[in-house]
Amino acid sequence: MRDQLYQLPNGIRASADYAFLSEDVMTKAGDGVGARKLKVSFHSTVTRVLFDGKRAIGVECLRDATC
């Protein structure tokens, strides 16, 4: 599978992770920078998205292939 490519405003193509999860958005540990409510979990697989009405509020996932 190939990474999805995006074109940045300066005309350069970038992968999705580079274009949207740069160091001004996310730390190397996967936490959001500034007031961003972001946590990226590495080596994980989402099994279900949790909703409150039509709004996604979280996910259930497997980490490192364990339950």
Q: What is the DSSP string of the chain?
A: -PPPEEE-TTS-EEEHHHHHS-TTTB-TTSBBSTT---B--TTEEEEEEEEETTEEEEEEEEETTB-
- Sequence letter at residue 40: V
Going by their DSSP bridges, the two strands 13-15 and 44-52 should be labelled as unpaired
pLDDT (0 to 100) of residue 29: 85
The pLDDT tens digits for 10-64 are 877 777 777 777 788 888 888 888 888 788 888 888 899 999 999 999 889 888 7
Do the Cβ atoms of 22 and 11 come closer than 8 Å? no
pLDDT (0 to 100) of residue 2: 52
pLDDT (0 to 100) of residue 51: 97
DSSP-based three-state secondary structure for 33: coil
